Amino acid sequence: MASTAISLSLPTFPSSSLTVKAKPSIFSHHHLFIAKNVPSSSLFSSSTKITKQIRTAFKIKCSSASFSNTLPSALLFDCDGVLVDTEKDGHRVSFNDTFNEKELGVTWDVDLYGELLKIGGGKERMTAYFNKTGWPDKAPKSEEERKAFIASLHKRKTELFMALIENRLLPLRPGVAKLIDQALGEGVKVAVCSTSNEKAVSAVVSCLLGPERAEKIQIFAGDVVPRKKPDPAIYTLAANTLGVEPSSCVVVEDSAIGLAAAKAAGMTCIVTKSGYTADEDFLNADAVFDCIGDPPEERFDLAFCGSLLEKQYVS
């Protein structure tokens, strides 16, 4: 039976509207697949009768306990833009401070950095930028020396970024601590999988989530894999290391390249859009929200993550 796309706004979440694909005439939560965000101005494409049935089905929040008791084997988070909205006021600022210290005459404004974020990894980002715009006069000429030059810039940038985190100048995004606590409380494995430097990711986890949570969270970051997102290598490594099947993992990402990596690894992926990624294409995501959210503005919880793994969901 063909799927029918139905647009609706969740009454409990004024800022979230979702496109739901469902088998015609089947509207229990067991047969609903949350596909992606649509503009809040979207009109119901179904009849009044169908609309009322779906409204009834979604009177319960996405966090409702009426979803199945299925839980993920592992909950895997990206770091930047997911745990903390770090890019604009964290990493970008730290890159610019580094360029200024080294007197390179380079500044990345907000819009430019948004474009550069399409390249995974800070060292890769700088290399691509200099290859395109020209290398600074102070940069070495040989390829090997330039690799060392980029590494030294990235090392200093990481030190400056860590100072921001350690001084708690960048807060956790809403709902992050709540969702991690729910997962750890249910025995679900939790990991952070990021293209960022391992020291920077560890600083975010330990300083902002606290040492008690940090000791239970495994970190896969930086150059731990040879190819960065959108390559699935980091998520495949996480699943293998944690001893779980990729199909039983739920990933929380904020970017198109992160989503591509998660899906290529065979994992379910929820997107929580960040400042730089709000307009990216998340068509292949299993669900899209503006954030995880804390009560009373909660968007979803661990039960919802588990519900996405149910076999009766229709894609």
Instruction: Name the architecture of domain 87-167.
Output: Orthogonal Bundle (1.10)
**Which CATH number among 3.90.420.10, 3.40.50.1000, 3.40.50.2000, 1.10.3720.10 corresponds to the domain 74-85+171-309?**
3.40.50.1000
Q: How confident is the model at residue 311 (pLDDT cuts 50, 70, 90)?
A: low
**Model confidence over 11-46: pLDDT tens digits?**
333 334 343 333 232 223 333 334 334 443 333 333
Q: How many CA atoms lie within 13 A of 303 on its CB side?
A: 14
pTM: 0.73
* pLDDT exceeds cutoff 60 at 58: no
Active site residue 281: no
SS3 of residue 111 by DSSP: helix
> What does the pLDDT read at residue 69?
79
Q: Do domains 74-85+171-309 and 87-167 have the same CATH topology?
A: no
**pLDDT at residue 55 tops 90:** no
Distance in angstroms (rounded) separating the CA atoms of residues 71 and 306 = 4
pLDDT single digits (tens) 258-309:
999 999 999 999 999 998 999 999 999 999 999 999 999 999 999 999 999 9
Q: What rounded mean pLDDT belongs to the chain? A: 82
pLDDT of residue 195: 87
Q: Could you tell me if 82 and 173 are in contact, meaning their C-beta atoms sit under 8 angstroms apart?
A: yes
What does the domain layout of the chain look like in residue ranges? 74-85+171-309, 87-167
In a 13 Å sphere around the CA of 168, the CA atoms on its Cβ side amount to 6
Q: Which two tokens stand for residue 96?
A: 């610019």
Task: Convert the pLDDT of each residue in 99-125 to its tens digit.
Answer: 999 999 999 999 999 999 989 899 999
Tokens 């290529």, residue located: 264
- For residues 180-207, average pLDDT: 95
Reply yes or no on whether 137 is catalytic: no
Q: What pLDDT is stored for residue 68 in this prediction?
A: 55
